[in-house]
Structure 1
């Protein structure tokens, strides 16, 4: 839930624990194909999808989905017919077709909602104490503690959208400072909440909407209400339609300048959420609405039904999102805020070329493509686009989340930064994570990082200068713990309390008693994995090693190196560290220098195959 559109639902409203956004492929024998697919589910890997998925017969995807298919042409597509059905992403009736790289989603869905029923072959049997059917959940506590006075404050108008989990309608304030103002109301029948987790999902979404506030590109939340039968979530009414509709109205793609204008807004609000410790987990064009039909209308992020609070050092493991936009690490069940950035990369790819970077005829095929395939930058229009645009998208769609840009970093990428000089860069929470690793590093690694920081280019230093200025250094040009606390408080919402961001500062306690200048900050905030993803990484590393040789390298015994790395005496240090040290003079080798930069842990060394 969370969408505030004034148009009928077309497959994106009332989000669920996993959205299968199945493409529609035009077919002259559409009805026959649909019948054949219903009769033989095993053929989905090679047979085109018709208007309804054979695996999810209750699901009617948006008729516009074929605009993004490489084999589809907008001019030949039939006129879309509004559907009363929407995407019920939490109520799968049948299992995924095996083999799927994300086949564990079945049990996740069963545990979450108890709504997965076994088919004749015995698949998708709910695990544990889950139950199926519409009568489940009768013994659950469905009291949320919300206000009971919805009817006295709002006059309900026409319905504007309907989903499997509820519906959306217009309403007006009856009294108060907003009297007469239109709003969107998400109405969720409590009878649809059939598991304790489904109830918690609604509770958490309201908590996130209530906690996040103050950003221009975030849908405004007014309040939540309930009665014996329903929950009412009152939000800003956005009547400009979905970003997806704008893309389609432009023939499937944006110009580079227009794409930048959209992506700047998306990156800004996502960076804001990440700083507060909130990961959206379902970013896609359908979940961004324009406030009005005006061409320059602001864009609003909506639908926080899959969102969650995440601590700076925490990894999430439940699989959520929409198939075409899900990050590889989500399928691997270990992810954090970087998963949102991947989804932005998919949106950027679509905006610039009008097709999806990862496409398949079935959901399992989509997952395989996300995990294995690389997006194409050879087909039209990519050869005609700027090299900066391609680099921007590639750095968002890096399959290694450690090498992916953060949302704040993406805002200072040359492709974005050259657009405007008035862009305000948000504080990046990843800076604090990197500083924590630096503060806990050995003296030897700190020296190596300082050498590497001296090789950074002007573009790479620009981001670090912006982040350093946001910490408001003192007149002498240094920062301490107080500067970091002050910067966080300046940008904080109530969400920071839930995500425990302030508790994370304890890991930087060493700064309580000393200060850090800009040169050391660069060494502390440098991201080795992101540099490693660049074409010039080898040059960076070699130059840094030369500086390290002059200023910091010295003869070192293996035992001393083991001590620097915090290895226990039980670790066979000679076996794992012998190639770190040059045998000619006992100094750190280039290989050892690069490994030291990465901060190799004793656990990784211990698990190294012999």
Structure 2
């Protein structure tokens, strides 16, 4: 989420939809990406963040997996391809409580009455505090979007007295579906559950009255990462890009360890705390986020078109979807253009599913091989081969950076799988362990030290101590 509607970014008109970029194709500068609304900077964002779609995967059955890998070759479809964008946007309207405009005149009055009765049947009581007006003084509106608007505010008493904050105000009148109400509940629940990381926006409290829900959070006044990219002419140096990527990976690893998948990581959703050049970033906007178990797969299509992972479009994904989005952000940081793009939303989806990122044109010949390997391991269409956030932090491209390596939830999944495996599989894994590379060994040693094992062995209690699993979790 973030404001980018007013930024004029040139995009080549002759780019073929769904075609892989080649040296004959124009390189598109980093775009303002499709999104929602920024609660912290208060800026309005473009409207093509999308949400739960009834459409099946846009990859039709029987189609060759990668015809777009040949530069300059258009997609060949046996029939006109379905447009994922239309049902996605229709689902988004339903999620927001906005129905499509009728084609055959106005809605009859009796239907309007039915809608009013349906609204009354919804439980719009959240159990939040009722004294927002007594604790905060609202200032000017600083942004407006689909789900509400954002205001600057200042604390009137208590611990936040005199402190400026950002307040996201969501009108209950717009919560016309049970899904919209649940989205608000879940966003507040996630914000309450996530705390204690320096790159995570601070949540203060949630309030409600008869008309609105008020979500009070930290005010970040340094602007969006997208603004910073554009102010630099669309590119970061490798050194500066590393500083940004480390912060993104660190907070993402923290969220994943707490069982939260963000599902909408993009430059607009990272804000700098101040306008100082070395100000830290904060991740914002958990409106599309969800809780997820280590072995769970999600199936609702959400995110922003340029940053959505292939498996999201196939409706079966987990934490790896966030890592794809980080790969797209890193690609933009290093070259200033999108790895996957087209002139239509459905064209973007086809490009994500079939095209490969371009590493041949300027400036890629001057970019280090470690950086390109880092990107290829994040933008891998096979989510099983994609790096986790903790693995990415131990990649050679970032290894020299001064940062802590967080505990990886993948380690718990692997240990749990090993405990449940047969003796034959134990023997096979022991043999395969001799083929571990130096990079993999570096990562595993870092994870082993984090668990602080007693007598050289790792137990379930080690994971519980690190809050990686719940108190009732069992290995078998």
Normalising by structure 2, we get a TM-score of 0.82
Equivalent-residue separation in structure 2 for 1:342 and 1:91 (angstroms):
17
Kindly provide the CA deviation profile for residues 34-91 of structure 1, in whole angstroms up to 9, marking residues without a partner as x. Answer: xxxxxxxxxx987xxxxxxxxxxxxxxxxxxxxxx825699xxxxxxxx996444589
Aligned partner (choices 350, 360, 365) of residue 332 of structure 2: 350
Q: Which one of the candidate residues 188, 210, 217 is aligned to 2:192?
A: 210
User: Are the equivalent residues in 2 in contact too, given 1:329–1:335 (CA < 8 A)?
Assistant: yes
Whether the aligned pair in 2 keeps the contact of 1:25 and 1:72 (CA below 8 Å) is yes
SS in structure 2 opposite 1:459? helix
Out of 430, 440, 454, the residue aligned to residue 420 of structure 2 is 440
1: CA distance, partners of 2:249 / 2:148: 29
- The corresponding residue for 1:450 is 430
Q: Are the structure 2 counterparts of residues 438 and 118 from structure 1 closer, same or farther at C-alpha, using a change threshold of 3 Å?
A: farther
Note the 1:52-451 alignment, pairs <5 A.
70-71=27-28, 86-88=45-47, 99-100=82-83, 105=88, 108-109=91-92, 112-117=95-100, 137-420=119-402, 423-451=403-431
**How much has 1:191 moved relative to structure 2?**
1.2
The aligned length equals: 426
SS of the equivalent of 2:192 reads helix
Partners of 2:401 and 2:381 lie apart in 1 by 27
Q: Secondary structure at the match of 2:195?
A: coil
Q: 1:90 to 1:246 in 2, by over 3 A?
A: closer
The verdict on how the C-alpha distance between 1:424 and 1:115 changes in structure 2, with shifts beyond 3 A counting, is same
CA distance in structure 2 between the partners assigned to 1:217 and 1:480 by the alignment: 30
- 8 A Cα contact 2:323 2:387, kept in partner: yes
Q: What is the match of residue 482 of structure 1?
A: 461
Match of 1:502 among 449, 455, 470: 470
Tell me the CA shift for residue 116 of structure 1: 4.3
TM-score, reference length from structure 1: 0.65
Superposed CA deviations along residues 70-129 of structure 1, whole A, max 9, x for unmatched, are 25699xxxxxxxx9964445899xx999623576535643653453426759xxxxxxx9
Q: CA separation in 2, counterparts of 1:341 and 1:297?
A: 24
Kept after mapping to 2: 8 A contact 1:277/1:309: yes
Sort the Cα spacing of 1:72 and 1:298 in 2 relative to 1 into closer, same or farther, 3 A. closer
* C-alpha contact (below 8 Å) 2:9/2:29 kept by paired residues: no
User: Gaps (5+ residues) in structure 1?
Assistant: 13-20, 28-43, 47-68, 75-82, 122-128, 493-500, 510-610
Higher Cα radius of gyration: 1
SS of the residue corresponding to residue 402 of structure 1 reads: helix
Instruction: Please give the secondary structure, in 2, of the residue aligned with 1:415.
Output: coil
Partner Cα separation in structure 2 for residue 23 and residue 196 of structure 1: 38
Q: 1:505 deviation in Å?
A: 3.2
Change in Cα spacing, 1:116 to 1:399, as seen in structure 2 (3 Å) is: farther
Is the 1:223–1:235 Cα contact (8 Å) retained in structure 2? Answer: yes
| RMSD, aligned CA | 3.3
